[in-house]
Chain A
Amino acid sequence: MATAPRFWRQNPSRYNMVGIRCNSCGRNFFPPRAICPVCHRKSVGKMEPVKFKGEGKIYSFTEVHEGLDEKASMRPYWVAMVELDEGPKVTGQVIDCDACDLEIGTRVRAVLRKLSEEGPAGVIHYGYKFVPVKVK
């Protein structure tokens, strides 16, 4: 699992879904990147951090039975590819959902949860997971 500095560096993106927009073409990206893959060098100096709302819909999902050992206490758990409203897709766990709730297209929103820890004496990593949005 990630070491403290490597994880900490990404905290704005992990805690608050901070991504980046290329002001040359208007595309949104997550996580932040230095260069737009479409505009290439034209994007240098034009990349602007942007905070995504953390809301989107499920593009695909799976129930993980053989997880990475860290997650042993959560097995099985759900992982989804989520398409954020602003465009980019992200990968994350879906929690607070009952077994049959999820479908392609289910709306979800990001919340902060523990992702992992560097052992019982190590740093705890927090980041986004998703919960289904109850349609009123």
Chain B
Amino acid sequence: METGIVSYGAYVPRYRITPEEIGKVWGVDGKAMGKGLMISSKSVPGPDEDTITISVEAARNMLKRVSIDPQDIGAIYVGSESHPYAVKPSGTIVAEAIEASPELTVADFEFACKAGTAAIQTCMGLVGSGHIKYGVAIGADTSQGAPGDPLEYSASAGGAAYLIGSEKIIARIDHMYSYTTDTPDFWRREGQMYPSHGGRFTGEPAYFKHILSCAKGMLAKAGTAPKDYAHAIFHQPNGKFPTRVAKQLGFSDAQIKTGLVVPQIGNTYSGAVPIGLAAILDEAKPGERIFAVAYGSGAGSDAFDITVTDEIKDFARDKAPTVMQLIENPKFLDYAHYAKFRGKITLGRG
């Protein structure tokens, strides 16, 4: 049966910090850093926000746009590398908060920045095989970069939720293709607060190898060429990487423009492709084809060939904020408040 996206919703926290502000503290030319990364600001979660509250916001926005009975949701998967608990799933709280409990399955996913798309694939399987009516796949993160590390300029917070089903599909997922190897470009050991990474190793052998291989594999599987797609989105850890990989594959700047949100909100990790895809769906028209390739360190890529259907004309998109509306009223922080909010200042109590 046809399976795909029935609804979607996103959420980005209001707070921001600029690369200049971060650079000031570490004696780095933050402005130049930002220019190099093509990031002018990144989102910062408030002290009372985390991957769970972001997931709930995104899921509630997703549900506002359709009128389904949340009890018909058969699965919820939250993909993140910043789950609030190492053990105890984020998804159960999301399930209760959207009143999908108790007849459903829940699990948390982790695969660096592509945990959300892995969740989409899993929901596609459960729905497509007829086991459940609707699945909810969420990619959300409140990622951290170590103080003074280059990742500090880009690691940000946000998420998006996807309702996967087989009825009233607004965007059909026609093909899925993935490319996975064991490549230790970026990791975090249990108990460590901040991730570690291989510097330039995260580029060519990691991000580029996997996205290029995956994208080429998808184009071959779907029998398409870049020009067949109205929109494309590639994982966006900064603005430079997706722009370069798009060019290498033969996609134009115009095709990736709508989904490229990293310049304003930074790298939302598991939220990156889901939020970018949401930004595209906010504007997509019936018949338009979307090429989406996520990347997660460790490493792997998930690709999706998506076609927007006529159903999107009746879709109540206005019932929840679009990605542009979500990011239009930011509140800028200085480094001290950013560090306080992110728990980077130890409070010195047992």
Contacts and interface: CB of A to CB of B under 8 A. Distances in A.
A binds B: yes
Contacts of A7: none
Interface stretch (B41-49, B232-240, B268-276): B41-49
B341 A15 contact: no
Interface in A80-130: 95-96, 98, 111-115, 124, 126, 129
B46 A126 contact: no
B252 interface: no
Contact of A73 (B47, B52, B56, B84): B47
Nearest to A117: B84
Given A73-B341, A126-B52, A112 B46 contact: no
Given A95-B48, A96-B14, A112 B53 contact: yes
Contacts of A73: 47, 340-341, 343
Given A73-B340, A96-B14, A114 B99 contact: no
B167 interface: no
B57 interface: yes
Interface in B1-48: 14, 46-48
Interface in B187-215: none
A85 B172 CA distance: 39
A43 B331 CA distance: 49
Interface residues of A, number: 18
Nearest to A98: B331
A16 B99 contact: yes
B341 A114 contact: no
Contacts of B46: 74, 95, 113
Contacts of B52: 124, 126
A112 B47 contact: no
Contacts of A96: 14
B230 interface: no
B96 interface: yes
A72 B48 CA distance: 11
Contacts, number: 45
B108 interface: no
B346 to A, nearest CB: 11
A3 interface: no
Given A96-B14, A129-B48, A112 B56 contact: yes
B176 interface: no
A25 B47 CA distance: 42
B97 A74 contact: no
B342 to A, nearest CB: 10
A126 B47 contact: no
Contact of A111 (B50, B57, B84, B331): B57
Contacts of A112: 53, 56-57, 97
A115 B50 CA distance: 11
B93 interface: yes
A12 B95 CA distance: 11
A11 interface: yes
Contact of A16 (B57, B97, B341, B343): B97
Contacts of B48: 74, 95, 113-115, 129
Contacts of A126: 52-53, 93, 97
B222 to A, nearest CB: 39
Max chain A C-beta neighbours (<10 A), residue from B49, B85, B331: B49
Contacts of A15: 93, 96-97
B77 to A, nearest CB: 19
Interface of B: 14, 46-50, 52-53, 56-57, 84-85, 93, 96-97, 99, 331, 340-341, 343, 347
Given A73-B341, A115-B48, A126-B97, 12 more contacts: A11-B96, A16-B97, A73-B340, A74-B48, A98-B331, A112-B53, A112-B97, A113-B49, A114-B50, A124-B84, A126-B52, A126-B53
4 A-B pairs with the lowest CB-CB distances in the bound complex, closest first: A73-B47, A113-B48, A114-B48, A15-B97
24 contacts: A11-B96, A15-B93, A15-B96, A16-B96, A16-B97, A16-B99, A72-B347, A73-B47, A98-B331, A112-B56, A112-B57, A112-B97, A113-B46, A113-B48, A114-B47, A114-B48, A114-B49, A114-B53, A115-B48, A124-B50, A124-B84, A126-B53, A126-B93, A129-B48
Interface of A: 11-12, 15-16, 72-74, 95-96, 98, 111-115, 124, 126, 129
